[in-house]
Amino acid sequence: MRFAVIQFPGSNCDVDLLHAIKDGAGEEATYVSHTEKSLEGFDGVLLPGGFSYGDYLRSGAISRFSNIMSEVQRFADEGKPVFGTCNGFQILVEAGLLPGALQRNRNLHFICKTMELKVENSETKFTSLYESGEQLTIPIAHGEGSYYCDPETLQELKDHNQIVFSYASENPNGSIENIAGIVNKAGNVLGMMPHPERAIEELLGSEDGLRFFKSMVQNFSKETASV
């Protein structure tokens, strides 16, 4: 498969993300600037972490109006894999591709630490190589990661098994229901605050994130091949 890693002004996890999909999952990937208007020839799109546009206004609020976002929207509509981590997740909620919003951390701290995550749903295309309920060691690094949505949306997330990851031992940011990552109803757009791309080799403390990318490739490549 061929993945696009979008570079916004202020992205800073783009290199890690490219490394994860290329060297970790063994797929093709290239950087694509936010100014581009086409994702022709790509099979999936990855939105990296960072501080796009300096987090001005709200994290992700400016980036969602980038040229490339109409293509990201198209990928989401067409069922192609769209993944956003950290700032990428913030951009996806601002763009309305995922429900809810990400608020300032409850304790106002920027938190950079390794967390225990629980796999709430191992039946998504992004998590099929995990066991249900499995605990993963994956780092977080954010100041605005407190997931919020209204009660009706939360019920909908639960009804459709859209909560994919939660914080297992402690909730670092005050997110409702300890939510760390969610998927859209169609199952092809996933956003999460933690950084699986920073946990793909033991040398860096954990390789629990690797199966995330491998699951995504395994499941979506079947579809790409059959089309």
Q: What is the contact surface with another protein in residues (CB under 8 A)?
A: 57-58, 61, 65, 93-94, 99-101, 103-108, 148-150, 174
Show the tokens assigned to 195.
Answer: 């950084």
Evaluate whether 44 touches 3 at the Cβ level (below 8 Å).
yes
195 is catalytic: yes
Shortest Cβ 198–another protein spacing (Å): 26
The span from the CA of 49 to the CA of 193, in Å, is 9
**Residue among 84 and 100 whose Cβ is closer to another protein:** 100
Residue 130 near residue 196, CB atoms below 8 Å: no
Taking the least distance from each CB to another protein, the nearer of 17 and 101 is 101
CA dihedral 27, 33, 35, 41 (to 10 degrees): -20
Whether 142 is a known active-site residue: answer: no
Q: Which of 13, 71, 86, 142 is the catalytic position?
A: 86
- Considering 27, 94, 144, 197, which one is annotated as catalytic? 197
Residue appearing with tokens 């998590």: 127
Tell me whether residue 136 or residue 157 sits nearer to another protein (CB atom): 157
Check if 112 is active-site. Answer: no
Q: Which residues are catalytic?
A: 86, 195, 197
